[in-house]
Amino acid sequence: MKMTNDYKNRKEGLIYHTPVLLKESIDGLRIRPEGIYVDATFGGGGHSEMILEHLNGEGHLYGFDQDEDAEKNSFSDSRFTFVRSNFRYLSNFMDWHNVTEIDGLLADLGVSSHHFDDESRGFSFRFEGNLDMRMNQRDGIGAVEILKTFSEKDLADIFYQYGELRNSKAIAEVIVKNREQKEIRTSQDFQKLLTPFFSRGNEKKLLARIYQSLRIKVNGEIDALKELLMQATALLKSGGRLAVITYHSLEDRLVKNFINTGNFEGIVEKDFYGNVKTPLHAINTKVIIPKAEEIKRNPRSRSAKLRIAEKNEIRKRE
């Protein structure tokens, strides 16, 4: 296999993104050498590279990513196909490539180190940059437009639903009041407005939640995740596996509920015999988290949670 840009960058100390829970997630997929797999969040290609090491000439991997920067890390390998798209369109592109079933899918839902460290993208409150936050810069509106045009109620809902902030209404009120005097375009503009909400020791935590909530809204992350889980489950063969790495409670709750109950609300439905009606079953009943060595090596992995599920056998009617 041709040496990838990501591999070159790792050798030079310029890391696009360090794959989190790499061994655990790959082991969880239980890869078949001749199988068909999907890496729904290609990024720097770290997870994909490891999946390819387990495939023979009959196997194939499809890597999805909507960011043009990620496409630069693509592999030159006959067993690999890069798909420049949001993973919410998984089924459409699998149809395009005449794939009706897959053996496994991996999704690492975290924002890459590359995005956090690129001040021009607006993902991090550490930099003075435009508040864009779009994963796909060819589509949608950025955080600047949301802060400029959304109503006070809609902003409050975003901060409450996606940032779980109890003072969401007060934050929204300050934004709407001040944007009439000066447009909020940069991270510095935004943080000046938020100063009244800072207290000793909580500044970074508050900013992280606010930026997270805006990013989720900008990229439609919750709806995209729901669509991915449903489409992936439909595509999986009986015995096929799903491995999902999440980084905040909203995502993890959705994944956990869907695996355990087959729906996102966590409502248990049983059949006539008392069996839970769900197409999946959990492989790890206890969530997998990074070991201390990994967190020390990659501090951004500290909030990662891995859940692995297997598709139940489809019983055919006699």
Distance CA 305, CA 303 (A): 7
Residue 316 within a domain: no
Distance CA 19, CA 9 (A): 13
Q: How confident is the model at residue 254 (pLDDT cuts 50, 70, 90)?
A: very high
Q: Is the model's pLDDT at 16 over the cut of 60?
A: yes
CB 43 within 8 A of CB 108: yes
Q: Which of 202, 219, 236 represents a domain boundary (last residue)? A: 219
Q: How many residues are given for the chain?
A: 318
Looking only at the bridges linking them, the beta strands covering 102-108 and 36-39 are: parallel
Q: Is the model's pLDDT at 245 over the cut of 80?
A: yes
Distance CA 120, CA 266 (A): 39
Residue 318 within a domain: no
Q: How confident is the model at residue 180 (pLDDT cuts 50, 70, 90)?
A: confident
Instruction: Tell me, yes or no, whether 247 and 102 share the same domain.
Output: yes
Residue 317 within a domain: no
Phi, psi angles (nearest 5°) of residue 182: -150, 130
Instruction: Tell me, yes or no, whether 84 and 122 share the same domain.
Output: no
Instruction: Tell me the pLDDT tens digit for each residue of 183-228.
Output: 998 888 998 999 889 887 788 889 989 999 999 999 999 999 999 9
Q: Which of 219, 250, 285 represents a domain boundary (last residue)? A: 219
Residue 179 within a domain: yes
* Residue 270 Cα distances to 262, 267, 276, 316, angstroms: 11, 10, 4, 19
Instruction: Tell me, yes or no, whether 85 and 228 share the same domain.
Output: yes
Domain harbouring 277, CATH code = 3.40.50.150
Distance CA 245, CA 97 (A): 26
Q: Is the model's pLDDT at 146 over the cut of 60?
A: yes
Q: Which domain holds residue 202?
A: 115-219
Instruction: Tell me, yes or no, whether 169 and 236 share the same domain.
Output: no
Distance CA 7, CA 105 (A): 22
Residue 241 within a domain: yes
Q: Is the model's pLDDT at 45 over the cut of 90?
A: yes
Name every residue whose Cβ is closer than 8 Å to that of residue 255 and which is 6 or more positions away in sequence: 225, 229, 244, 246, 307
Q: How confident is the model at residue 8 (pLDDT cuts 50, 70, 90)?
A: very low
* Residue 127 Cα distances to 15, 118, 186, 189, 219, angstroms: 19, 9, 9, 11, 20
Instruction: Tell me the pLDDT tens digit for each residue of 81-119.
Output: 999 999 999 999 999 999 999 999 999 997 765 555 566
Of the candidates 9, 39, 36, 3, the one whose C-alpha atom is nearest the C-alpha of residue 22 is 39
Residue with tokens 């496409």: 71
Instruction: Tell me, yes or no, whether 43 and 104 share the same domain.
Output: yes
Instruction: Tell me, yes or no, whether 85 and 29 share the same domain.
Output: yes
Instruction: Tell me, yes or no, whether 103 and 120 share the same domain.
Output: no
Instruction: Tell me the pLDDT tens digit for each residue of 262-304.
Output: 999 999 998 888 888 899 999 998 999 999 999 999 998 999 9
Instruction: Tell me, yes or no, whether 214 and 231 share the same domain.
Output: no
Name every residue whose Cβ is closer than 8 Å to that of residue 30 and which is 6 or more positions away in sequence: 104, 241
- What residues pair up with 36 in beta bridges, in sequence order? 60
Distance CA 231, CA 74 (A): 24
Residue 139 within a domain: yes
Q: How confident is the model at residue 9 (pLDDT cuts 50, 70, 90)?
A: very low
Instruction: Tell me the pLDDT tens digit for each residue of 136-145.
Output: 878 889 999 9
Distance CA 194, CA 205 (A): 12
Phi, psi angles (nearest 5°) of residue 62: -110, 125
CB 29 within 8 A of CB 104: yes
Domain harbouring 123, CATH code = 1.10.150.170
The dihedral built from the CA positions of residue 123, 129, 133 and 137, taken in this order, carries a sign that is negative
Q: Which DSSP letter does residue 262 get?
A: S
Number of domains forming the structure of the chain:
2
Structure tokens that stand for 94 in this block: 């699998």
Of the candidates 94, 89, 8, the one whose C-alpha atom is nearest the C-alpha of residue 49 is 8
Give the distance from CA 70 to its chain's centroid: 14
Q: Which of 201, 219, 237 represents a domain boundary (last residue)? A: 219
Instruction: Tell me, yes or no, whether 108 and 10 share the same domain.
Output: yes
Return the higher-pLDDT residue of 56 and 181: 56
Region 240-248 average pLDDT? 97
Region 249-255 average pLDDT? 96
Q: How confident is the model at residue 10 (pLDDT cuts 50, 70, 90)?
A: very low
Q: Is the model's pLDDT at 168 over the cut of 90?
A: yes
Instruction: Tell me, yes or no, whether 108 and 233 share the same domain.
Output: yes
Instruction: Tell me, yes or no, whether 99 and 231 share the same domain.
Output: yes
Instruction: Tell me, yes or no, whether 151 and 297 share the same domain.
Output: no
